[in-house]
Amino acid sequence: MERSIHQFTVKNLAGKDVPLEKYKGKALLIVNTASKCGYTPQYAQLEKLREKYKDKGFEILGFPSNDFGGQEPLEGEAIQEFCEVNYGVTFPVFEKVHVKGSKVAPLFKFLSDKKLNGEVSSVPKWNFHKYLIDKEGRVVDFFYTITNPDAPRLSRAIEKLL
């Protein structure tokens, strides 16, 4: 069984397939996001984090989810516009997905289940839960919502992968 996110294909906000193997060789932070959440300002911090490390082989992938309190009412291009206009987001934001429960997206089922990914068991408990992925596509760590993207421990974990 492959223990890499590179086995998955997701959809972008325009509904087009994006194979995650496209990100082979990059360290990633995968985040479930929402536009109407108290943590939504983390978008700006995530963008700064991306800017800090992008030239060293780092990328952030955002996955909007409406699983927590209906805090992602937007759809498709409206999500992208919200992220760009309000927070200057340039990292890829994908189609809205379920990150927990019976309808969980295959990628998030993999990210949250140690039996599948071999490293961590952590189902998102709220928006802006973060999974750190190494350059081979393996899940290496996770960070709860309350860990701000500018937290030194998150930067240290990223730097170990670059």
Token pair recorded at residue 150: 């500018």
Q: Rounded to an integer, what distance in angstroms lies between the CA atom of residue 162 and that of residue 147?
A: 20
Q: Rounded to an integer, what distance in angstroms lies between the CA atom of residue 160 and that of residue 162?
A: 6
CA angle (101, 24, 6) in 5-degree steps: 30
Q: Is 83 a residue of the active site? A: no
The three-state secondary structure class of 147 is: coil
Q: Rounded to an integer, what distance in angstroms lies between the CA atom of residue 63 and that of residue 72?
A: 11
105: exposed, middle or buried (C-beta count within 10 Å: 0-12, 13-18, 19+)?
buried
Catalytic-labelled residue, pool 37, 74, 133, 154: 37
Which of 60, 53, 55 lies closest to 130 in space, CA to CA?
60
Which residues participate in catalysis according to the annotation?
Answer: 37
